[in-house]
């Protein structure tokens, strides 16, 4: 089965590979490691459709890893705004500087793993796709394909060790990068979560889940815990067609990003804090945003007739240029609510 799987899959990939802006198609020269690494970091827990415009923006603004290394944290965070999981952006800047300092990306997994923000998956993907090294690359799509192919019934996340071991048995020495991307494409387009197209699958003959009758039963997942809820307030402080923005602390949630002032909801489980200054505050309603580990209802309060100027670190930002501030999604939603009320 092992050699047959890789042969069948690579033959399918040669005919059906997705054309993606960070990818070299079968037979083409290996892609720039910078583009592979950047795309893989962006694609963590994010869809291809969402990543494409960000990848284009980053590679136009910073065409090389050296260009990105020279960028300020503020510019990188602003360019990343809206893509979520902001620790990725902070590690992106750190990693770029380290890679520039050592003169380029290392070629093996062990050395790649030492770079900031590179876990086992990203290190394996860069080693295989950019450098042609044999590496076992397992993302969510690969987990699904392999769990079905081998009929692995242990629930995730406990099954990940078994899935990786099974993936190792079918990963070829040659064309390891193409094989990894073929597995990803198969999971994204054929072996999908709810509607696997088994009649079109190049691995259907060997698929044990298909033989058992219902591939959608796998992979099994442990029951989800109920997501807790938080309440908070954000504050729209406007004067002379400008809004007061603050810089969030460098560590913690949304660290280092521009935002509206708030009541410290990210450090509390519930409740509302007081406005940052005295004034005739008006409620503008609320937005809802879902983070990975909790849901947030964020009330927006606004003041335009200031009794005194805001204190502390902040800046007056032209409202007509607010999109350039790089607000994270929760605060961008709050800003949109304020603009809709104006």
**Residues β-bridged to residue 258:** 247
Query: Domain for residue 224, yes or no?
Result: no
pTM, whole model, 2 decimals?
A: 0.81
- State whether 253 and 187 are in the same domain: no
- State whether 45 and 186 are in the same domain: yes
Query: Domain for residue 223, yes or no?
Result: no
- State whether 311 and 191 are in the same domain: no
- State whether 49 and 193 are in the same domain: yes
- State whether 43 and 158 are in the same domain: yes
- The first and second tokens of residue 31, run together, are 């892609």
40 is catalytic: yes
> Whose structure tokens read 């307030």?
233
Task: Please give the tally of structural domains in the chain.
Answer: 2
Q: What is the 3-state secondary structure (H, E, C) of 153-200?
A: CCCECCCHHHHHHHHHHHCCCCCHHHHHHHHHHHHHHCCCCCCCCHHH
- State whether 206 and 302 are in the same domain: no
Query: Domain for residue 159, yes or no?
Result: yes
Quote the pLDDT of residue 1: 57
In terms of residue numbers, what domain contains 293?
Answer: 229-341
pLDDT tens string 257-292: 899 999 988 765 555 667 888 778 899 999 999 988
pLDDT tens string 188-216: 999 999 999 999 999 999 999 999 888 99
Query: Domain for residue 143, yes or no?
Result: yes
| CATH number, domain containing residue 62 | 1.10.340.30
Alpha carbon distance 202, 145 (integer Å): 12
Query: Domain for residue 94, yes or no?
Result: yes
* Helix pair angle (33-43, 48-61), 10° resolution: 140
pLDDT tens string 82-127: 888 888 988 999 999 999 999 999 999 999 999 999 999 999 999 9
Quote the pLDDT of residue 80: 93
Which residue is catalytic, options 40, 109, 143, 299?
40
């Amino acid at each position: 089965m092992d050699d047959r799987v890789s042969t069948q899959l690579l033959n399918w990939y040669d005919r059906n590979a997705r054309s993606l802006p960070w990818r070299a198609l079968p037979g083409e020269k290996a892609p720039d490691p910078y583009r592979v690494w950047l795309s893989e970091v962006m694609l963590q827990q994010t869809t291809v459709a969402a990543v494409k415009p960000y990848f284009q923006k980053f590679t136009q603004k910073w065409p090389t890893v050296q260009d990105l290394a020279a960028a300020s944290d503020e510019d990188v965070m602003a360019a990343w705004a809206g893509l979520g999981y902001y620790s990725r952006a902070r590690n992106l800047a750190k990693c770029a500087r380290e890679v520039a300092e050592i003169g380029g990306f290392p070629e093996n997994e062990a050395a790649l793993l030492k770079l900031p923000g590179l876990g086992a998956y990203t290190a394996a993907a860069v080693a295989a796709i950019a450098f042609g090294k044999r590496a076992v690359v397992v993302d969510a799509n690969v987990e699904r394909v392999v769990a079905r192919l081998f009929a692995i019934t242990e629930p995730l996340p406990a099954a990940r060790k078994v899935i990786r071991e099974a993936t190792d048995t079918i990963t070829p020495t040659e064309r390891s990068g193409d094989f990894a991307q073929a597995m990803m494409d198969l999971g994204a387009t054929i072996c999908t979560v709810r509607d696997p197209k088994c009649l079109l699958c190049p691995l259907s003959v060997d698929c044990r889940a298909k033989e058992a009758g219902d591939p959608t039963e796998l992979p099994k997942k442990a029951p989800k815990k109920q997501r807790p809820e938080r309440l908070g307030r954000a504050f729209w402080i406007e004067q002379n067609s400008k809004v007061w923005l603050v810089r969030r602390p460098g560590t913690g949630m949304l660290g280092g990003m521009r935002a509206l002032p708030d009541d410290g909801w990210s450090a509390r489980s519930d409740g509302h804090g007081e406005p940052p200054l005295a004034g005739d505050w008006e409620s503008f309603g609320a937005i809802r945003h879902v983070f990975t580990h909790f849901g947030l209802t964020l009330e927006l309060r606004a003041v335009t007739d200031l009794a005194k100027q805001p204190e502390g670190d902040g800046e007056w930002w032209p409202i007509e240029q607010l999109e350039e501030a790089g607000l994270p999604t929760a605060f961008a939603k709050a800003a949109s609510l304020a603009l809709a009320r104006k």
